Structure formats: structure tokens, C-alpha cells
Amino acid sequence: MAIAGTFHPSSLIYLILLVGFGSLVSLFPFHSWAPPAYACAPAPTAMMHAGVLKKFGLYGLIRIALPLFPDAMHQFNGLLLLLVIGNILYIGYATVAQKRLDWTIGYSSVMHMGYIFLGLASLNVIGVNGAMILMFAHGLSVAAAFALCGEIRRRTGTLDYSELGGLAKVTPVLGLLFGFAVMASVGLPGFANFAGEILVFFGATSYGPAMILPVIVGVWGVVISAIYMLRAYRSTFWGPMIARWESLTDITPTATWSVILLLVPLMIVGFYPQLLVKMVTTALPR
């Protein structure tokens, strides 16, 4: 928090930018609009906003706030870390409590913003590199998840866990693709999400003792995300199947290849993250 007698007008500008861009990015506690918006929107709209438009706020913080107000960022870094903990911990547990697939993915998208802000709060190249890789990885993985969510809704007319289950028996390709999207979102090694999270944790631990609690919360958040995403996968595609789903058709080849085009770059960057790190490091503001 700001120290009395050291408050500068630039600090106020930084706080305004943080609130403005943070509201767009769904930074805690300005996140409440995002999950219901994603759940109620058509799948293409949710894909575009969660995967692309939300990153504009993060880009604004990196290109404007970081180079123009470095002193203010240091001054209010403690406040940002408190909000990061809220993003990961509070929203993570809220995600576990969801009973619909679309709401789970919506809350999951909000929760993972905490890791990106954790990378920015590290205030070093490693952490910011990780944040930018996570922006790329989250954009593709959440778009794939919402696309598959839309395919499920189109076939069943519901996304309530209590009405789903066993869909892998009649839609094996859809189930396989959703499994890949789940593994990417959880941060399984081999996906760009894992590379980004590792860099964020390395950058955060390099910051100093103030990062001990946020890093511990971040690691626990990985466990929470595994719980709710694997639960979503199990509740939708495994277990007993309701008889009315026996006539469902599998995902079409066009939709299949569309999702594959989102997943393949995640695996390429996951196995060779240096491909993206070189471009990101070169573009960072000096």
C-alpha cells in the first residue's frame, strides 16, 4: 500500500488504469460480470471475448502501466498481490462449487487471470515472459473449451452436470478433444499453459519473501483447477449415460479440425516454449 507522504499523481493514474484494465480482465473483485456473461453468451462470443478481447486489458497494463508507472507498480504491488490471491483462491473455490459446465469454464477463465497477474507482479523479465505465454495459452485453451461446450449444448440442450454423463460412449471424438482441452487448462506438461505457469512461479520466487504466500496459493490453485476440470470431464463424459443421449451424433469433421487448430499450437509451444519466449522478450518494453 502507499506510504503516507509519498503519494504522487502518477500513483492515482496507475490505480485508475489497474481498475479499468482489471475490470476488463476480470481481476478480483471486479470479476463478477464475467462468468455469467460467458455462460449466457453464444459459444463464438464467449470464445472471442475470453480468448482475445480479455487480453487487451493485460496488453494495456504491460504496454502502458508497466513502462510508464514502474514506481507506482512497486508502491502498490502488495495490493495487487492481495487481489491475485483473491483471483486464485476465492474464485477457485467458487469454480469448484459450480453445477454447470459453462459456468465452470467461465469461472475457470477468471481464476487463471490470477496467474497472469502474478507474473506481472513479479516485476522481472522471467515473470512477465510467463504472463505473456499464459496469455497466449489461456486464449487458445479457453476458446477450445468454450467451442466444445457449445457443441455439447447444441446436441443435448443442457450443460447441467446432473443431466449429463457417459457422453464419451456416443461422442468419443468430442470426449477426446475435451480431454485435451481439460489437460491444457490444468497445465499438464506438454502444453503451453504449463510452460507459462512455470515461468510465472520462477519469476515470482525471484521477487523476494513477499511472494512466498502468493506462490503457495498459486501452487494450491493448480490443485484446485485439476479438481474442478477433471470433475467437469467426469461428469460430462464418463459414468452412466441417460437413455435419451443414445442417439447423439459425434462432433463434425469441420468442428473437429477447428478445435485441433487451437490445440496444436498449445502443444508446439508446450514442447518448445523458447519459440514464443524469444518473440515475447524482444517485444517487452524497455
Name which of 88, 144, 115 is nearest 260 in CA terms.
144
| pLDDT of res. 7 | 56
Three-state secondary structure call for residue 122: coil
Domain boundaries, the chain: 9-283
The DSSP call for residue 61 is I
Rounded Cα distance between 27 and 47, Å, is: 19
Binned average pLDDT, 10 residues per bin, the chain of 286 residues:
53 83 83 82 81 80 80 82 90 91 90 88 85 89 91 89 87 92 90 90 85 89 92 90 84 91 92 80 54
In this structure, how many other beta carbons lie within 10 angstroms of the beta carbon of residue 130? 30
Give me the pLDDT at residue 26, please. 83
Radius of gyration over every alpha carbon of the chain, rounded to an integer in angstroms? 19
In single-letter form, the type of residue at position 241 comes to M
Task: Count other C-beta atoms under 10 Å from residue 101's C-beta.
Answer: 24
User: Residues 110, 31: contact at Cβ < 8 Å?
Assistant: yes
**CA-CA-CA-CA dihedral for 145, 198, 188, 48, to nearest 10:** 10
Phi, psi of 67 (to 5 degrees): -80, -30
With contact defined as beta carbons under 8 Å apart, do 134 and 193 qualify? Answer: yes
Look up residue 143 and give its DSSP letter. H
The count of residues in the chain is 286
**How far apart are the C-alpha atoms of 237 and 216, rounded to whole Å?**
32
Closest CA to 87 of 54, 126, 43: 54
Q: How far apart are CA 17 and CA 80, in angstroms?
A: 12
In single-letter form, the type of residue at position 193 comes to N
